[in-house]
Amino acid sequence: MSHVPLGLISIVILLLHAAGILAAAHALMHTRTPQGAVAWVFGLILLPYFTLLPYLFLGSKHFSGYAELHQSRQARKRTLTDANCQALSRQHPPHPDAQRYAAISAMLGVPFLSGHHLRLLINGATTFDAIFAAIAAAEHYVLVQFFVIHDDELGRRLQAALLERAAAGARVYLLYDGVGSHALPNSYAAILRAGGVQVHPFATRRWKNRLQLNFRNHRKVVVVDGWRGFVGGLNVGDEYLGKKPPLSPWRDTHMELQGPAVADLQMAFDENWHWITGEQLQLLAPRVTDGPATSLIAATGPADEQETCSLFFVQLIHAARERIWLSTPYLVPDSALNAALQLAVFRGVDVRILIPSRPDHRTVYMASTLYAHESVRAGIRVFRYQPGFVHQKVMLIDDDTAVVGSMNLDNRSLRLNFEISALNVDEAFAGEVEAMLRKDFEQAVEIGGNDYAHLPYLYRVAIHVARLFSPVL
């Protein structure tokens, strides 16, 4: 029996520690939060045998080129003081109540504009019926982007719809996330390309990068002919239609908007397309509508100079005067969000959060459980939805503001993922969202202030351990 020389083992250990120190220096300089930096630095220096490989997948930040492209495009885009932007604002003056969200507009460099028709799309069947009907009516082009696409019944319906429009002469562009859609076979894209559809996986590096699991593109965007836009929480897979127990029925929400903000929706797609292909798309301006709603498209991500997704939520919460109702599948907020929600309670705001009663990711669910109990102790009302899994990302502020999009209340959405949502100021649309959420809360069980004490001791230990992984959940 052969033995590995001790000298070789010593050399390997020294090399691992040297690599750990170099990686720790990288983590110290590039990790966004102090908590994350401390965790990586100590882990990489003391236990490089266990942390080096995870750091390659989760800690390393490989999209400096994308960030430079994003920031240069942002600089070239209109600013809030640009003449074209001011002309748009005169043509589509925002609702006066949108002024309380002016910080969001300034942060993103995107104006609030009126003139929108909005349509709330509840659950998968309604959403995809609307999306497929819009695609079938496309005359010029179709832009489609999803985090997850499966090669199942719904995925093949999307494939057929895109192939039909390409055959009819429309330009068809499809982006999907390379990690979120890791199970999608190469044949799916090959069939689309053979039929004239331009399709690419999104990655923060233009070449294949298996070592980049963070910084995923979690956006769900469909734009048809530049004037019909769709955004929300649904991906493309049979589970989103509630066809895969034990999570079914699947509860989710999307929306359609028509109006000037669709230009920003398709600009977000175009930036991703430009990064992957090096090409900029020829896009049409949205059609003028007489819709009453004021809307803004919030596209956020780790290429931004600020943590725009976290700041987006914090400003919404601080602006609330009477009510904050929100629904999220993952309740793993950062300290800024926690503080904002607690302060809202002290202001007398009705704060309610809807979360799942069934897990799709066990560790996230356990961490969310602890945050839920701590929120209840702070005066926030937290409810667990009972019929099935709730995946919707919806927020209702007071009686006039509703947000629908892809943003979760977890570290991935707040700091690691590219996200997109529509922020809408319109009493009629907010009323529809209120009715929808009220029905959801009626089908939920409220977490009580003493429920934590009744949890088994070992389970309480487990959820505290799960929370330690919050920065990477």
What residues are annotated to the active site? 218, 220, 225, 391, 393, 398
- Beta bridge partners, 354, equal 327, 383
Residue among 354, 299, 366, 298 at smallest CA distance from 329: 354
Query: At residue 197, what is the residue type?
Result: V
Residue among 319, 354, 138 at smallest CA distance from 230: 138
- Kindly state the tokens that stand for 261: 């903000």
457-467 vs 362-377: helix crossing angle, rounded to 10: 100
Q: Do 286 and 263 meet the contact criterion of CB atoms below 8 Å apart? A: yes
Could you tell me how far CA 220 lies from the centroid of its own chain?
Answer: 8
Instruction: Provide CB contacts within 8 A for 83, sequence distance 6+.
Output: none
The DSSP line for 76-98 is: HS--TTSHHHHHHHHHSPPPGGG
SS3 351: strand
Report which secondary-structure segment, H or E, holds 185.
Answer: none
Instruction: Provide CB contacts within 8 A for 444, sequence distance 6+.
Output: 354, 357, 383, 384, 385, 386
Instruction: Provide CB contacts within 8 A for 126, sequence distance 6+.
Output: none
Query: At residue 463, what is the residue type?
Result: I
CB atoms within 10 A of CB 227: 21
Please tell me the distance from the alpha carbon of residue 102 to that of residue 74, in angstroms, as a whole number: 18
Please tell me the distance from the alpha carbon of residue 22 to that of residue 225, in angstroms, as a whole number: 49
Q: Is the peptide bond before 246 cis (omega within 30 degrees of 0)?
A: yes
First to last CA, the chain: 44
Please tell me the distance from the alpha carbon of residue 43 to that of residue 20, in angstroms, as a whole number: 8
